[in-house]
Copies of this chain bind each other. A is one copy, B any other.
Amino acid sequence: MAKAERGPRERMVFSAAQLIRRDGVASTGMREVAVTAAAPRGSLQHYFPGGKTQLVDEAVGWAGRYAADRVARFLASLPEPTPSGLFAAMVRQWTDEYEAAGFAGGCPVAAATVDCAESVPSTRKAASAAFATWTGAVARALTGMGVPEERTGALATLMISSLEGAILLARADQDVRALTTVARELGPVLDAAVRKPDGSPAGGHTGAG
């Protein structure tokens, strides 16, 4: 989890995301965020006059951008990009973390959704935007791999849904099996959507009605 360590403000947003990932939004205290970020408590109300809501919203937005960046990075690192390869890389990020550092954290956007979707409208919107950012990045990546445009959105949604759900299962079970399972099962399905050079129909419906 390399970070630039720039200003105290960024550190606080980052720390908030980390704590939310672990304990959920409600159980994450402002004081705790300040301590974790090695930032003075007084800076909280200085940088986030909107209070906890603003801090959480920014943490969620940060997480969305971070996830989208990772997708771009995966794409660049894959020698021969395929949908299954991208999905495997996304999943591997989680299995690697869980095997190296334990099952302490989940997805902060998921946590914000669970804790705030009904009670804090702005956070719900922030979560929706974060998911959209992430899904958009995945969909663009799929387009670049030859997946027909009318399929990229649906497949990106499928990938992220499966990943998010598998993260939940893995964390509950303290076992990465759910993650490896969805990667293995979905891989061939995703690759089947790639438009073949011979112009074959590219398995799956192309936009059912």
Contact = CB atoms under 8 A, between A and B. Distances in A.
Contacts of A23: 115, 118-119
Nearest to A60: B172
Interface stretch (A3-11, A32-40, A76-84, A157-165): A157-165
Interface string A177-198: 1100110111011000000000
A117 interface: yes
B164 A181 contact: no
Interface stretch (A46-54, A65-73, A100-108): A100-108
A88 interface: no
A143 interface: no
Interface of A: 22-27, 103-106, 109-111, 113-115, 117-119, 124, 127-128, 131-132, 154-155, 157-158, 160-166, 168-169, 171-174, 177-178, 181-182, 184-186, 188-189, 204-205, 208
A208 B184 contact: yes
A30 to B, nearest CB: 15
B115 A115 contact: yes
Given A158-B185, A185-B158, A168 B113 contact: yes
A153 to B, nearest CB: 8
A68 to B, nearest CB: 15
Which applies to chain A's interface (DSSP): helix, strand, loop or mixed?
Answer: helix
Contact of A114 (B131, B168, B173, B186): B168
Among A110, A114, A132, chain B packs the most CB atoms within 10 A around the CB of A114
Contacts of A177: 157
A174 B163 CA distance: 20
Given A162-B162, A169-B131, A173-B128, A155 B26 contact: no
Contact of A157 (B24, B110, B114, B178): B178
A118 B22 contact: yes
Given A124-B172, A154-B184, A158-B185, A110 B117 contact: no
B171 A113 contact: yes
Contact of A124 (B157, B160, B174): B174
